[in-house]
């Protein structure tokens, strides 16, 4: 088992990539806490995941709210006593062309996708510094690397996550904490379900592998980066996109 006795905290863990990652980590011996703003989905996910292992906990939290993040960290420590891995997976989209974008759409996406990453990492950091070890994994996107029409806010947050990742890798590496990011391409999730079919088909045709990705593809990348197999990987942005950006 690659993550035996490790404690992993996964934000946005009730569905999609987060839930699949939690399942994989449990199978690899980790104790897992999933958080999500959607309580009903989170409880349902935790119940299903408990069939793999009883070492699963759900905590409802909005990652952009400091007090909720603080309580999330406290609950994790109360249950498992430490935090070895933080996956900043929570994210939202509110797409629209710049000329039509409301300020509220900009602010909501930044609050979750960028400020949430900052707040969760800052809250976990004292624990990892005291341990002298830890792994922080951030969710970026192919859109953060190359932009996308109609996703000004989302692209800005995912590019920002890359900046955070590289800065933290330099700052925290000497403390024994590795920081990396995964940049998925187009993955079949609830989020991409909102994308028109013709756009998805176009993305599939643009991808050299001629297919869209699955949540398992991203979960496997997270597993590698969280494991000791990646103990000399720090500050990297791992593209998992079927060659879309080649």
Judge whether 154 counts as a catalytic residue.
yes
With a cut of 90, say whether residue 235 has pLDDT above it: yes
Per residue in 158-182, pLDDT tens?
999 999 999 999 999 999 999 999 9
Give the pLDDT score at 201.
85
Helix, strand or coil for residue 63?
A: coil
- Going by pLDDT thresholds of 50, 70 and 90, the confidence category of residue 55 is very high
Q: Which domains does the chain have, with CATH numbers?
A: 7-240 (3.40.50.720)
Per residue in 196-226, pLDDT tens?
788 788 888 989 999 999 999 999 999 999 9
What's the mean per-residue pLDDT of the chain?
Answer: 96
Mean pLDDT (whole number) for 37-44: 98
Mean pLDDT (whole number) for 234-243: 97
Give 128-133's long-range contacts (Cβ < 8 A, gap of 24+): 128/83, 128/84, 128/172, 128/175, 128/176, 128/177, 129/175, 129/177, 131/82, 131/84, 131/176, 132/175, 132/176, 133/84, 133/176, 133/177
Which comes out higher in pLDDT, residue 192 or 42?
A: 42
With a cut of 80, say whether residue 150 has pLDDT above it: yes
- Going by pLDDT thresholds of 50, 70 and 90, the confidence category of residue 195 is confident
- Going by pLDDT thresholds of 50, 70 and 90, the confidence category of residue 98 is very high
Catalytic residue among 118, 154, 222, 232: 154
Paired with 183 in beta bridges are 239
With a cut of 80, say whether residue 129 has pLDDT above it: yes
Q: Are 12 and 66 in contact (CB under 8 A)?
A: no
């Amino acid at each position: 088992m690659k993550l035996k006795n490790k404690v992993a905290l996964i934000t946005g863990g009730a569905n999609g990539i987060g839930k699949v990652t939690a399942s994989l980590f449990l199978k690899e011996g980790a104790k897992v806490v999933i958080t999500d703003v959607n309580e009903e989905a989170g409880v349902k996910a935790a119940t299903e995941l408990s069939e793999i292992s009883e070492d699963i906990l759900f905590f409802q939290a909005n990652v952009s709210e400091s007090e909720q993040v603080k309580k999330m960290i406290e609950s994790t420590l109360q249950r498992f006593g430490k935090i070895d891995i933080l996956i900043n997976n929570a994210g939202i989209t509110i797409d629209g062309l710049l000329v039509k974008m409301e300020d509220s759409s900009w602010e909501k996406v930044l609050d979750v996708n960028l400020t949430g990453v900052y707040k969760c990492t800052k809250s976990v950091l004292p624990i990892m510094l005291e341990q002298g070890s830890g792994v922080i994994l951030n969710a970026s996107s192919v859109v953060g690397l190359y932009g996308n029409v109609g996703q000004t806010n989302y692209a800005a947050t995912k590019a920002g996550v890359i900046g955070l990742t590289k800065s933290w890798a330099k700052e925290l590496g000497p403390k024994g904490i590795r920081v990396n990011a995964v940049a998925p391409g187009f993955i079949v999730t609830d989020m991409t379900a909102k994308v028109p079919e013709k756009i998805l088909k176009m993305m599939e045709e643009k991808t050299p592998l001629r297919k869209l990705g699955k949540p398992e593809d991203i979960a496997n990348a997270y597993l590698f980066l969280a494991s000791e197999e990646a103990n000399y990987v720090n500050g990297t942005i791992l593209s998992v996109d079927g060659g879309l950006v080649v």
